[in-house]
Amino acid sequence: MSSLENLGRRVREKRGDRGIRAVANEIGISHATLSRVERGFLPDLERYQKICKWLGVSIETMGSQNSTQSMGAVPQVHFRKKPTVSPKTAQALAQLILTAQVALAREAK
């Protein structure tokens, strides 16, 4: 299971017994978005960045377990929940894009 799939679990663990509205306010996102993230849906990139910052992890760490990108390179991967794209398909596409970004970064060196 990749780090992206663990986002909701990590958020739930850090939130603990605190209310979802209070934590969402602390992160700077809506409580509805935080609830969806905890249920396994990926937020848009802006909210994803806020959540990663709140968790104290880099976007690269969350985006790919084997990322070798420089700290300046930020993966631009995001899929909103749509009925035509299953979470499994979105995850596979996200990993494909992240892998391609790593390969391109290596070629540029």
pLDDT digits (tens, 9 = 90+) for 2-49: 566 688 999 999 999 999 999 999 999 999 999 999 988 888 888 888
What does the alpha-carbon distance between residue 74 and residue 88 come to, in Å, rounded to a whole number? 22
pLDDT in tens, 81-102: 545 667 778 778 888 888 888 7
Does residue 62 contact residue 37 with C-beta atoms inside 8 Å?
Answer: no
**CA proximity to 26, closest of 41, 11, 38, 36:** 11
CA distance 5 to 105: 24
Residue 105's contacts (CB-CB under 8 Å, 6 or more residues apart) are: 68, 69, 70, 73
